[in-house]
Amino acid sequence: MDPWNSAQDVVRCTLCKTSDAPMYCEVCHINLCKDCVEKHFSDSSIVHKVVSLQHYLTTLSYPKCMTHPDQQCELHCEQCDIPFCTLCVLSRKHLGHSQVSILKTIEIKKEVLQRELQELEKSIYPKYKEMASNISVQKDDLGKISKILSTAINKHGEFWHREVDTIIKNLISKVEEMESKHLVVLTKAEDEITHTISEITKSIADVKKLLDSKDVCRVSEHKSRNAEFRRLPPKLKVSLPNFRPKEINTDQMIEQFGSLSELSLPREEQDYRLSIQGAESSTQDRSLIDEPRLITSLKRWYNYELYGVACLNDVEIWTRGGDNMIKLFNIWGDLVMSIQTKSRMRPLDIAVTLNGDLVYTDEENKTVNKVKMMNAQIQTVITLQGWKPLGVCSTFFGELLVIMNSDDYKPTKVVRYSGSIETQIIQYNDRGKPLYSSNDTKYITENKNLDICVSDNGAHAIVVVNQAGKLRFTYSGPPSTTKGSFVPYGITTDSQSRILTADINNHRIHILDQDGQFLRYIDNCHLQTPRGLSVDTKDNLYVAEYKTGNVKKIQYYM
């Protein structure tokens, strides 16, 4: 619609899609025609509040225009991602930009909020409550078993002379120490879950307030925490020790009296986080299906080359193309946000961090940049000297892995960063040979088992090293692959530690297991020049098609 030469479209009924909608339900947040009001009220499971659309619109709290502070904003520029008023239209601001009514923008946002609330109440909250209950039971069992162990030791000790009393006391002390350590771990886990439940409860309350809010700014600024809450802690269960008595032998009393088995506890934070990842994988065992299924094809998101995608969550996807814009779309094809790179040159790769921020690499100014979702401000976190960043990914521990080419054709390397601090360099194998080809395009991801996976199209291979940087395997296609015909680009991994890579020239996706064994192709979904790959939390695969500008959503698991 051209806002300077045509009138705004009339508001249509959300239910029948055809009639004008003079009414609005403030509970369900939908437009209604007169014929559909009665049908809407027939749903007695909800207490509806239907008012005139005019009344709803006049009571909304619209933001003030930044250019004309005395005017309310009624339109939203999708390219600039800002609201503006009718005077801005008359002054021909945002000329040629895609525009929608601010009401439509808020309606889309509230639909997302409704789904967020449902997930919090129906899925996330009950799981945390169940885990809190399980830990409480384990704490009760811990005390009982500790008492049983102490009793068994004392009973066995009655058959010994006073010379072994010290041994008995030492072992009981060890039991108490184990109980104390175990209790600390369980209490800590319980406290963390209780705190998270409190946060979820607060988030539920906040989302409910937003759903009933008429403050456009508050609704627009809301940032979902569902992705954070989905990462469930492990169902913590520590194996308890047992007492193994032996026959009395005076010469070998200490050895013969018996011993307690070692307490099995996470040794450090890394072990604990690995157990979290293991818990997530075990609860979602997804086998491959015989025939991958195309769920949807989002047409023509770009009118030119489309290079990559990165899932922000299950309904929003970041994309990058041949220009200097990084765009966030939802799964219905609506543009949610646009970010222009600092250098005004195209980004070479994009990724999403654990807390939902966007990261992109910029070859022009040799930087890695972070975009905060809260305010869309670009922050340069890494600046390189003599090297150009290529692919980037966020690790399970919140670090960044960056693969980069040198200005003077030195071997390509992978660098791990904690913030802006370089903590690890991966460049050569055990024989001092380069792991990666020089120059050419490369992308990087981290697997659930903490392997670092690189698609090296210059070497026509996927190169996988472990967390310490030791080469695990190189994949150059199935045994029947003609040498050099495999040209990998985008790479991603799923919840089962499978590795997926885009074979752009052969128009298909390769799926490997975590040890580099070829499992199958995805070659039946009419793929055309697949380049960028990403998976959401449900392992749905998003494929960016380089030449068509389309994004395809594919299911390949049961």
- Min mean pLDDT across 250-254, 273-277, 333-337 is at 273-277
Q: Are residues 205 and 326 in the same domain?
A: no
**Together in a domain, 410 and 304:** yes
Q: Tokens 């892995």 — which residue?
A: 401
**Residue 7 located in a structural domain:** no
Q: Using CA atoms, how far apart are residues 352 and 552, in angstroms rounded to an integer?
A: 19
Based on the fold, state whether residues 542 and 508 are members of the same structural domain: yes
pLDDT band at 368 (very low <50, low <70, confident <90, very high): very high
Angle, alpha carbons 84-336-488 (nearest 5°): 145
Q: Residue 373 — φ and ψ, nearest 5°?
A: -65, -25
- pLDDT digit string (tens) for 336-359? 899 999 999 999 999 999 888 999
| Same domain membership, residue 84 and residue 130 | no
Q: Angle 165-212/102-119 helices, nearest 10 degrees?
A: 150
Where on the phi/psi map is residue 484: left (φ > 0), alpha (ψ -120 to 50), or beta? left
Per the CB < 8 A criterion, the answer to whether 12 and 4 are in contact is no
Task: Return d(Cα 259, Cα 241) in angstroms, integer.
Answer: 9
Residues 265 and 314 in one domain: no
| Residue 333 tokens, joined | 């094809």
Query: 438 and 371, same structural domain?
Result: yes
**Residue 259 located in a structural domain:** yes
Looking at the fold, whether 31 and 140 belong to one and the same domain comes out as no
For the chain, the straight-line distance linking the first and the last C-alpha, in angstroms and rounded, comes to 43
Confidence band, pLDDT 50/70/90 cuts, at residue 492:
very high
| pTM score | 0.53
Residues 6+ apart with CB under 8 A from 433: none
Q: What is the domain-level CATH number for residue 294?
A: 2.120.10.30
The domain in which residue 405 lies consists of 288-557
Whether residues 152 and 299 share a domain: the answer is no
Alpha carbon separation from 55 to 15, 79, 370 (Å, rounded): 20, 30, 42
User: At which residue do the structure tokens 């050895």 appear?
Assistant: 255
- Residue 297 belongs to some domain of the structure: yes
Token readout for 268 is 């450090």
Q: Is residue 5 part of a domain?
A: no
**Secondary structure of residue 424 in the 3-state scheme:** strand
> Is the distance from CB of 259 to CB of 146 less than 8 angstroms?
no
User: Last residue of some domain: 46, 73, 104?
Assistant: 104
Residue finishing a domain among 283, 306, 336: 283
Query: Which of 192-201, 226-235, 362-371, 534-543 has the lowest average pLDDT?
Result: 226-235
Residues 320 and 461 in one domain: yes
* Per-residue model confidence (pLDDT) at position 381: 95
Q: Do residues 134 and 276 share a domain?
A: yes
Q: Give a yes or no: residue 1 inside a domain.
A: no
| Residue bearing the bigger pLDDT, 5 or 436 | 436
Q: Is the pLDDT of residue 411 over 90?
A: no
DSSP state of 44: T
- Is the pLDDT reported for residue 61 higher than 80? no
Does residue 17 lie in a domain region? no
Indicate whether 424 and 468 sit together in one domain: yes
| Residue 482 and residue 535 share a domain | yes
Residue with tokens 């600046």: 383
Residue count (the chain): 558
pLDDT band (50, 70, 90) for residue 51 = confident
In the chain, how many domains are there? Answer: 3
Say what angle helices 125-157 and 165-212 make with each other, to 10 degrees. 170
Instruction: Name 334's Cβ contacts closer than 8 Å, sequence gap at least 6.
Output: 108
Tell me which of 525 and 84 has the higher pLDDT.
Answer: 525
- Residue 504's contacts (CB-CB under 8 Å, 6 or more residues apart) are 487, 488, 489, 529, 530, 531, 546
Do the domain assignments include residue 227?
A: yes
**CB of 543 within 8 A of CB of 299?**
no
Residue after which a domain boundary falls, among 227, 252, 283: 283
Whether the CB-CB separation of 336 and 106 falls below 8 Å is answered with no
Strand order across the 508-512 sheet: 488-493, 499-503, 508-512, 518-522
Whether residue 463 lies inside any domain: the answer is yes
Under 8 Å between Cβ of 477 and 508: no
The SS3 assignment for 39 reads helix
